[in-house]
Amino acid sequence: MPKLTELTITAGEVEVLLKTMDAKSATGPDKIPLSLRASDLPIDFKCAAVTPIPKDGDRTKFKNWRPISVTSLVGKVLEKHVRNKMAMFFEANNTLPDSQHGFRNARSCTTMLMRTLDDWSAALDNQSGAHVNVVFLDWAKAFDKVPHQRLLTKLQHYGVDGAALKMAKKNFLVGRSQFVRFNGACSESCEVPSGVIQGSVLGPLLFNVFVADLPSVVQTNLVQYADDCTVYNQIRSEDDVDALQEDLARIDVWCTNNGMKLNAKKCVVMDVTRARQPCTPHFTVGGAALEYVATQRLLGVHISSDLRWNHHVDVQRKNAARTLGFAARNLHSCSNRVKRIAYLSLVKPKLFYGNPAWHPLTKTNIEKKCRVQNRALYFIYGRHVPPPAQQKLLSVPAQLVYNDLTFFKKCLEGVTDYDAMSRITLGRVHRSNDPLHPRLQQPPARTDLGKNVFDYRVVKFWNDIPPVMKTCSVAQFIPLCKEYVISSF
């Protein structure tokens, strides 16, 4: 006799069933759709299961665990709808500052890193012995401390009102509860008095709105990725030092006025320079002196004060090799296809994360990456490694070029919100050139550091690609670019 042992549901089947439901039928216990008209969601939608995720540091201390909330799956569908509507409204009205790169359409960690690293590299390339003092700020439990009433006031100030404001207040801020789930045990639920929910769909956008007025108090340079804030200034005189210190004081006042607090012990300063003599003026936050560091991790990239990448490549290589070893131990009996997927999803991102923003530069650093990839090829194929065209895996040099070209193409087409052409100019059209696609002119560069930045590197690669790749869409460009770099590098 046939047996029914499993029930599977596809997205298409759910869509068909939803479309066939009677929208005029009475509301159920969840009070949908009445709850939407009343801007009040079911109570289950407002309760989150908090899973503690360890951060760096001593795991026996509560402060070194990050609370990530898991909310109702059905509720997330509605939350995404609210988030999309609000995000479109804020982007259309330029509510979010240009300095904010976190959780925004067409922006990413890479765009923020590009902005900062290109600025610092340009300063050091333009002037011999230049110094850029960079302060990496750290907020104490930023997402958890956001005062609800202050956030609601800002939402209303930026144009969110009526039912939309009521929806945000009653369902995503006030009246929420949570419980902790850890090692199979659950705590009792309790009310959430402040903060926006980490791990939620709407939380990061609400936080971005809350800090949207922070750049207005900064007169030097500020870049943000949600709660990651970096302030910097090129130091030419005591006035530049004073300007940066005054900005730190104004940021501290802003925090006090908005119920936030800087963690002075985790705020550090770096003197970005290649000069022999350091420039280390005294900076304070909330009366506490800031410590100078030679390296600092920013959005997953380990930045050295001389903007060389030896340390970062070593960290990447170790992390990638450790992950590859884990995969090799657990997947040794799997098919080549499974091993290849494991490499592409687990190991490769660790080798090339944020790559357009930085470049290994030296032959030694590139060889370190190559050794990890060669181990990966042996893990996948054994001793009989096919040629690159059959592997469909790019060599390390080819991958670096591919990442640069695809990022540049996305910038040109508006898929990525970054002005990659700000320092690039159009060259003269010669008879041998295609008049419809004039060659690009590299920006001026005085040092090897200046010649290693993205806009200088990518021009040579872009000028050499076939004309058809310059005019096609991004979707068409990606496979063409892969074929091109496999055959060329």
Q: Is the pLDDT of residue 274 over 80?
A: yes
SS3 96: coil
SS3 22: coil
Q: Is the pLDDT of residue 36 over 70?
A: no
Q: Is the pLDDT of residue 428 over 70?
A: no
Average confidence (pLDDT) over 338-356: 94
190 band by pLDDT with thresholds 50, 70 and 90: confident
Note the pLDDT of residue 3.
Answer: 43
Q: Could you please report the per-residue DSSP string of 274-304?
A: --SS------EETTEEPEE-SEEEETTEEEE
Nearest in space to 486 (alpha carbons), one of 403, 394, 404, 352: 394
pTM: 0.86
Q: Is the pLDDT of residue 116 over 80?
A: yes
How big is the chain, counted in residues? 489
- Which of 83-97, 183-197, 248-262, 329-343 is predicted with the least confidence, judged by mean pLDDT? 183-197
Nearest in space to 372 (alpha carbons), one of 313, 332, 331: 313
Roughly what angle, to the nearest 10 degrees, separates helices 363-381 and 396-412? Answer: 100
Q: Is the pLDDT of residue 334 over 80?
A: yes
Note the pLDDT of residue 125.
Answer: 94
285 strand-pairing partners: 288
Q: Is the pLDDT of residue 391 over 90?
A: no
Distance of alpha carbon 411 from alpha carbon 132, whole angstroms: 27
Average confidence (pLDDT) over 53-78: 79
426 strand-pairing partners: 440
Nearest in space to 427 (alpha carbons), one of 413, 416, 442, 414: 442
Distance of alpha carbon 204 from alpha carbon 382, whole angstroms: 44
Q: Is the pLDDT of residue 89 over 70?
A: yes
CB atoms within 10 A of CB 202: 23
Distance of alpha carbon 484 from alpha carbon 224, whole angstroms: 36
* DSSP strands (E only) in 161-267: 177-182, 185-186, 190-191, 221-225, 228-234
Percentage of the chain lying above the pLDDT 70 cut: 91
Instruction: Summarize pLDDT for 444-470 with one digit per residue, the tens.
Output: 999 999 999 999 999 999 999 999 999
CB 463 within 8 Å of CB 456? no
Q: Is the pLDDT of residue 43 over 70?
A: yes
